[in-house]
Chains A and B, each alone.
Chain A
Amino acid sequence: MNRLLKTRELWLALGILAVIVLVTLRFPRFSQPGNLLTIFNDTSILMMLALGQMAVILTRSIDLSMASNLALTGMIVAMINAAAPGVPIPLLIAGSVVIGSALGAFNGILVWKLDIPPIVVTLGTLTIFRGLVFVISGGAWVNAAQMSQEFIQLQRGTFIGLPILSWFAIVVATLVYLLMTRTAAGRAFYAIGVNPTAAVYTGINVGRTKFLAFVLAGAIAGLCGYLWISRYVIASVEVAGGYELTIVAACVIGGVSIAGGIGTVAGALLGALFLGVVNNALPVIGVSPFWQMAISGAAILIAVVLNGRSERTKGRIILKKAEAA
């Protein structure tokens, strides 16, 4: 099973490589290390969000409110920064994680304590959070002139040749990887996704585990709220509108099963990178950016067809093993 999982990520990596090679054949500059690092940096936010979404999807849930959470948290920290430029940026970043976690906890509590289906809860909070962005900002924008220089520049600094934004993604990915593979909480995400009833009998609190997954997704969405606003230097109601489905798309392309229990950190990262590479390649090869949406739609469908097939094969292998035993 481990080998099968590895091959899926391998295929995705090969797919990304194929896109890079094809574009490079016509435009050699595309695959220069500098440009590849730019793509990585551009995709950093999507990669982090995909990891948060993966944790939720693993538990047979879905979080459609991540983009709205990002917009709301981003607006709050941007307004704090505009009103009080003296507040140190690291404190603001910590604040964004806390606010994001609180919004995620709101989703999680409704799923845990009231047992409302996650898709209904997050469909509601998707509109509520985005509406709140309007309420707190009065519909006004916070633009570059109102933000402090540290607020804008922090993620643009470099450390060992990489922008700080990329480092955020690397650190978050490492933490989520350790959480998923080295802690009981991380294994619980997989356990309740594969078989919630069995998970209950092994002593896992299913509701609480889902709650934790939503808090994790919220924390990441909050952090990305700060990163998004300081990267695009504008905080408005429309920030990341419709992005919730791009995040789900990255997970699906990365082989995270919507039925829960299947998915890896590497897969989610590669799924996000695939979308990032395609989006960066389109303008280079002279295709109108209007093609982006249709291509990512087609990529989702192809990925789900391929994943559906490999998941089915795996089921058969388990059956064969059981028969042999």
Chain B
Amino acid sequence: MTDTTATGRHLPDRLDNPVKSAVLSWESLLVLVALAIFIANSFASPYFLNEWSLSDMTFNFTEKALIALAMALVIITGEIDLSVASIIALASTMMGLALQAGADTPVLVAVGIGVGVLCGAFNGFLITGLKLPSIVVTIGTMSLFRGIAYIVLGDQSFKGYPASFSWFGQGYVFWVISFELVLFLVCAFIFYVVLHHTNFGRRVFAIGNNATAARFSGVRVDRIKFVLFCLTGLMSGIAAVLLTARLGSTRPSIAEGFELEAVTMVVLGGVSILGGSGTIIGVVLAALIMGLVTFGLGLLNVPGIVMSIFIGSLLIVVIALPILFRMWRQRKA
């Protein structure tokens, strides 16, 4: 966008994320922030250092973080998906309809995940097939998907999910380790391997750095983007299953605002919003930080809306600090 060649030895290429030139790597900075918040929390509230409290804390971020994993890949290619929360609403509504039709737990899960993938494929088709900007398409489908949920439900809600279904959102695999947390850790590992240790992952970075060059190097840009939007849909479908199971009900306003929190996690995790750089470890740490902040403030009886000030400030400060630091160093040199 603006001319950054004036900054000297920095090549005007996105691989050279300005953040990386800070003394600390982004991930170690995040670890420090997470530790600081953890310590602050344990001093601030006597209820914090308790295995069940910490277990509850993970429910604050697992569903959003699952989406953030896929969103990270989408953002690395230089696109964005703002429709994820609405996909949850639509998938949850369809699960509710299936429930009313007498569906059992396996069918409910299949419906939720299937609707998610279909929604993602619809986004992917509009973006790669019709060559439309992803931000506009997903603002549109954001209204469309949730709009359909409102048409079906109005001011009603679906309730009465079977106990075997609720287990996905409320069950524990072992001691205080919830199913949601295990699923998140498994998914995070898979995404880590795919993004950082496969050809597919390299191609994702290649597209984000220069889609045209990637295209001429034989990368099927549109196909990969399509797959990534389906993947975001899939993760949103999974999140819909978990969230619906945890809440035990479906309202059309379910998961409102998740899209912005997922994007915040991704950006806080060090993924460049312009595409081309980022790590899964960063996203996982950012998810943990957001979970710690909201839970810690919750223990201190800070209302949710005030927490959002912290999250919003965290996003801006964490991004602005390395930039300010770099400017200060350059002025000194």
Contact = CB atoms under 8 A, between A and B. Distances in A.
A245 B323 CA distance: 29
A28 to B, nearest CB: 28
B305 A131 contact: yes
A123 B320 contact: no
Contact of B141 (A110, A242, A297): A297
A252 B144 CA distance: 15
B113 interface: no
Contact of A308 (B130, B260, B313): B130
Contacts of A60: 1
A132 interface: yes
30 contacts: A114-B324, A115-B2, A116-B316, A116-B319, A119-B80, A120-B267, A120-B273, A120-B316, A123-B260, A123-B263, A123-B264, A124-B315, A126-B312, A127-B308, A127-B312, A131-B308, A132-B309, A133-B305, A196-B1, A196-B2, A197-B3, A206-B1, A252-B139, A290-B154, A293-B146, A297-B143, A297-B144, A297-B146, A301-B126, A304-B133
A43 to B, nearest CB: 17
A80 interface: no
B274 interface: yes
Contacts of A62: 135
A121 interface: yes
Interface residues of B, number: 52
Interface in B254-268: 256, 260, 263-264, 267
Interface in A268-325: 288, 290-298, 300-301, 304-305, 308
Majority-rule SS of A interface residues: helix
Interface string B110-144: 00000000000000001000111101110111111
Nearest to A300: B140
B308 A121 contact: no
In order of increasing CB-CB distance, the 10 nearest A-B pairs are: A294-B147, A297-B143, A297-B144, A131-B309, A293-B147, A300-B140, A127-B312, A128-B312, A127-B308, A124-B316
Nearest to A132: B309
Contacts of A237: 305
Contacts of A290: 150-151, 153-155, 252
Contacts, number: 153
Contacts of B305: 130-131, 133-134, 139, 237
A296 B143 contact: yes
Summarize B's interface: helix, strand, loop or mixed. helix
Query: Considering residues A125, A294, A308, which has the most beta carbons from chain B within 10 angstroms of its beta carbon?
Result: A294
A314 B133 CA distance: 17
A219 to B, nearest CB: 21
Interface of A: 60, 62, 110, 114-117, 119-121, 123-128, 130-135, 139, 196-197, 200, 206-207, 237, 242, 245, 248-249, 252, 258-259, 288, 290-298, 300-301, 304-305, 308
A249 B142 CA distance: 11
B165 interface: no
B140 A301 contact: yes
Interface string B1-35: 11110000000000000000000000000000000
Interface in B77-109: 80, 82
A248 B142 CA distance: 12
A259 B305 CA distance: 32
Contacts of B319: 116, 120
B148 interface: yes
A305 B136 contact: no
Given A114-B324, A128-B313, A252 B147 contact: no
A131 B263 CA distance: 18
Interface of B: 1-4, 80, 82, 126, 130-133, 135-137, 139-148, 150-151, 153-155, 252, 256, 260, 263-264, 267, 273-274, 303, 305-309, 311-313, 315-316, 319-320, 323-324
Name the residue in B80, B136, B260, B274 with the highest tally of chain A Cβ atoms < 10 Å from its Cβ. Answer: B136
Contact of B2 (A110, A206, A248): A206
Given A196-B1, A301-B140, A135 B263 contact: no
B323 A258 contact: no
B147 A308 contact: no
A121 B320 CA distance: 10
Contact of B142 (A297, A305, A308): A297
B138 to A, nearest CB: 10
B1 A301 contact: no
In this complex, which of B130, B311, B312 has the most chain A Cβ atoms within 10 angstroms of its Cβ?
A: B312
B144 A301 contact: yes
- Of A116, A290, A305, chain B has the most CB atoms within 10 Å of the CB of A290
Nearest to A112: B2
Contacts of A120: 267, 273, 315-316, 319
B150 A294 contact: yes
A207 B2 contact: yes
